[in-house]
Copies of this chain bind each other. A is one copy, B any other.
Amino acid sequence: MDLAKKRRTSRMFSSNPIDFKDVTVALETACQAPSGANYQPWRFLIVIDPQMKRRIRSACERGEKGFYSKVKGDWKDWLSSKGLSWRKPFLEEAPLLVLVLSERRAPYSVQSVWLAIGYILLALEELGLGTLTYTPSITEGVLEVTHVPKKFRLEAILPIGISIDEKTKETRRALCEVAYMESWGHGFDKAALPRIRAEMREPRIRRK
């Protein structure tokens, strides 16, 4: 829970090498996640070679240029307020990339793989490594460059390294803004906690 609180996205990485062992440990953590019918639909493609990183970056930036030329309205404003553009230098700057893939035909493959990505983020935080879940706008180019078979989908690219990103963590909504009790619209606030806790210990008498 502390790791979740501390963890924030990093888009800038030191060129210092990292211990490859740490990356395998974080991915082994992901392998422990539950998945639809225990299908374990995750695959990981680890990229260290600078030439391969450059090709992946080029493929991604080609897609992003198209995306950024079309994006409009609120989302465009949000992207530029965050200083985001089609440029993805972290794909070359991070000492290592992990391409996270899912097996298309597996039950709940997207869901299972993203749950496992949650495990990876917390494991990397525990190891003192930074990352972001970069989702390329167009994935075909990357899959071609890396020879990934058609039956797998690219879910995210995780550049991994020592973070030198000085941005603070984006603020989060409080739980009472996103949680309800019993049925939609019935919120709870901190003031209601003692009552609910007491009710949980001494359940209300069942209505007939």
Contact = CB atoms under 8 A, between A and B. Distances in A.
Interface of A: 1, 4-5, 7-9, 17-21, 24-34, 36-38, 40, 42-52, 75, 78-79, 95-96, 107-108, 110-112, 114-119, 121-123, 126, 132-133, 135, 145-149, 155-156, 170, 172-175, 178-185, 188, 193, 196-197, 199-201, 203-204, 206-207
A20 B193 CA distance: 8
A146 B183 contact: yes
Contacts of A155: 111
Given A17-B201, A173-B40, A126 B46 contact: no
Contact of A24 (B45, B193, B207): B193
Q: Which of A117, A118, A121 has the most CB of B within 10 A?
A: A118
B121 A110 contact: no
Given A4-B32, A21-B197, A45 B184 contact: yes
A107 B73 CA distance: 14
Contact of A178 (B42, B110, B206): B42
B115 A110 contact: no
Contacts of A203: 17, 50
